Chains A and B, each alone.
Chain A
Amino acid sequence: MQTIVSISNLSKTYDTGHQALKSMSLDITRGEILALLGPNGAGKTTLISIICGIVNASTGSVKVDGHDIISDFRSTRSMIGLVPQELTLGAFDKVINTLRFSRGLFGKKPDPAYLEQLLKSLSLWEKRNSEIMSLSGGMKRRVLIGKALAHQPSILFLDEPTAGVDVELRKDMWALVRKLRDSGVTIILTTHYIEEAEEIADRVGVINKGELLLVENKQKIMHMLGKKQMHIELKESVTVVPEALSDWALELSADGSQLTYTYDPHNPRTGISGLLDAIRDAGLPLKDVHTSQSSLEDIFVSLVKEPS
């Protein structure tokens, strides 16, 4: 596994005194989709802005494909495409012109065939001569993605790409992101929607208050922290958990009709069989049994809730 972006001890304190990043270190692997998950104001955008050259870091360094982002900014920036969070576009520009501008800005010679193919893949080809202000919000978002891809970057940053985007477009966007990843592009996206990270990412980094709480393979996070619960619905409600079942630390629902058993699915001895035996022995008739797995959201909430 090859590192393409290497962030070491990066910190940022704004002039206002706000410390947006606290000595963050992170290695991003070539070709992966990394989701940076965190609440608003966690420092996600600051991190991206530093890597892209929009904000100066207070301390620390970033290397992109072995090049320093300050001393060798031409190499690093020409590899990177950025889709910002806000819909910042020149209102009077034509779609095709703004893409040509982006491509040139990043030092690439004009390539009408590539831009045509790009606009088609974003379903914007028909709108190429429209002024941006006449486009819908979803289209503007796609124009921003088109601008970021106009110079064929090998690393793509998507800052809150689905903010204010409808379900249909979100699906298309994920399809595009996967296609880009398959073509070898490394993708870093920020989000505060856990479902997004869960759906698209290979790895997930959790950021809160300028700190990277953890970064792990998505499955591994679920594995590490994911808990399973077995919900046992009873035919007849009970008022207390029978004494014989006390070993399993069951939770009784308020109406007394459901018992919940929380266990670690990776433990070879989950205790499920024993529990079911004990329930039968206690003479409790069962209505239904089902299990659920904690989502990334539960993991995330438990992480950021921890006292700092």
Chain B
Amino acid sequence: MNRKTNDTHAINFQAIKVIYRYEMLRAWETLLQSFASPVISTALYFVVFGSAIGSRIQTIEGVPYGTFIVPGLMMLALLTQSIANASFGIFFPKFTGTIYEVMSAPISFIEILIGYVGAAATKSLIIGLIILATAGFFVPLEIAHPVWMMSFLILTCITFSLFGFIIGLWADNFEKLQLIPMLVITPLVFLGGSFYSVSMLPPAWQTVTLFNPVVYLISGFRWSFFEVADVSVGVSLTMVLAFLSLCLIMVWWMFKTGYRLKQ
């Protein structure tokens, strides 16, 4: 036995690798559910909003309506998929009890996090890019700032996968697992300007809507496409980074206290 040779790294790379691969494998084995269903539902939005209704709507701030909703639709899919993937990824081993193995392994919380959240973020990134490609078939698309677009995309995937991970840790039953995505996230995304510009709202509602964090996300993302934004891109970026930090602090606290994992 060649004990200890290359086996006791400061970072357990092998563990990160197997968790990441296990989670990705889960997606490939349920390919239809993982990738096809979000793409199909997004395509339906294009047909309904983009073509049917969109044809009656004039351009919004110089952008044809069908094109205008692309960033919002991507965000809608990204947010829901990131949360669903990451929350399920950690909730399921908790539910079946197989989490015992991860907890008894020589692996730190940060490595667990990189494995699970990394895989969830990768999956939603793939979904986001597929949707973008699909959108290209329906509407003319030009991306003004591709680097910013990718940055927002990746940042959003990571942030909301992290948020999903928190939900997965917090939830102790399937109902709670669905609760926040359904009651909080979906309304926030729909009211966050996915399908409209905030400037189209009455002034009072414009103020209210600024309390919706998703507004900043969609606004910044849309700016990277069309250079059209509800709030300045700097504010958008700050808000996304703030939410990311908030999630990181929460996860750190949960791990530190062993919240719902360790008694």
Q: Which A residues are closer than 8 A to B by beta carbons?
A: 14-15, 52-56, 73-78, 80, 82, 84, 86, 88-92, 97, 100-109, 147, 152
Contacts and interface: CB of A to CB of B under 8 A. Distances in A.
Contacts of B25: 97
Contacts of A90: 93, 96, 98
Given A15-B263, A84-B100, 4 more contacts: A55-B262, A74-B8, A105-B14, A105-B18
Given A55-B263, A107-B14, A109-B6, A77 B106 contact: yes
B184 interface: no
Contacts of A78: 7-8, 106
B263 A14 contact: yes
Across the A-B interface, the 9 shortest Cβ-Cβ residue pairs? A104-B18, A88-B97, A77-B106, A52-B104, A74-B106, A105-B105, A78-B106, A104-B14, A107-B12
Interface of B: 1, 3, 6-9, 12-15, 17-19, 22, 25, 29, 93, 96-98, 100-108, 258, 262-263
B106 A54 contact: no
Contact of A56 (B14, B17, B107, B258): B258
A109 B7 contact: yes
B263 A56 contact: yes
Most buried by B among A74, A91, A106, A107: A107
Contacts of B3: 152
B106 to A, nearest CB: 4
Given A88-B97, A90-B98, A101-B22, A107 B104 contact: no
Nearest to A184: B1
A107 B106 contact: yes
Nearest to A54: B103
A54 B262 contact: yes
A74 B104 contact: no
Contacts of B262: 54-56
B118 to A, nearest CB: 15
Contact of A88 (B1, B6, B96): B96
A182 to B, nearest CB: 15
Contact of B100 (A54, A100, A101): A54
B17 A104 contact: yes
B15 A104 contact: yes
A108 B1 CA distance: 12
- Of B1, B12, B104, chain A has the most CB atoms within 10 Å of the CB of B104
Contacts of A102: 101
Contact of A75 (B8, B15, B263): B8
B21 to A, nearest CB: 8
A107 B9 contact: yes
A292 B98 CA distance: 46
A147 B14 contact: no
A54 B1 CA distance: 27
B258 A109 contact: no
Contacts of A147: 101
A113 B68 CA distance: 56
A88 to B, nearest CB: 4
Given A54-B262, A74-B12, A86-B97, A105 B107 contact: yes
Contacts of B263: 14-15, 55-56
A88 B191 CA distance: 42
A91 B96 contact: yes
A137 to B, nearest CB: 15
Contacts of B101: 82, 102, 105, 147
Contact of A108 (B7, B22, B107): B7
A109 B106 contact: no
Nearest to B6: A109
Contact of B104 (A53, A86, A152): A53
Report which residue of A76, A91, A92, A106 has the largest number of chain B beta carbons within 10 angstroms of its beta carbon.
A106
B191 to A, nearest CB: 37
B169 to A, nearest CB: 15
A78 B18 CA distance: 16
Nearest to B115: A105
B205 to A, nearest CB: 45
Contacts of B22: 97, 101
A23 B255 CA distance: 26
Nearest to A87: B97
Nearest to A90: B98
A91 B92 CA distance: 11
Contacts of B97: 84, 86, 88
Contact of B14 (A74, A84, A108): A108
A251 B100 CA distance: 53
A82 B97 CA distance: 14
A80 B104 contact: yes
Given A56-B258, A74-B106, A105 B96 contact: no
B237 to A, nearest CB: 36
Contacts of A89: 96, 98
Contacts of B102: 105
Given A74-B8, A100-B18, A101-B18, A106 B103 contact: no
A107 B19 CA distance: 11
B7 A82 contact: no
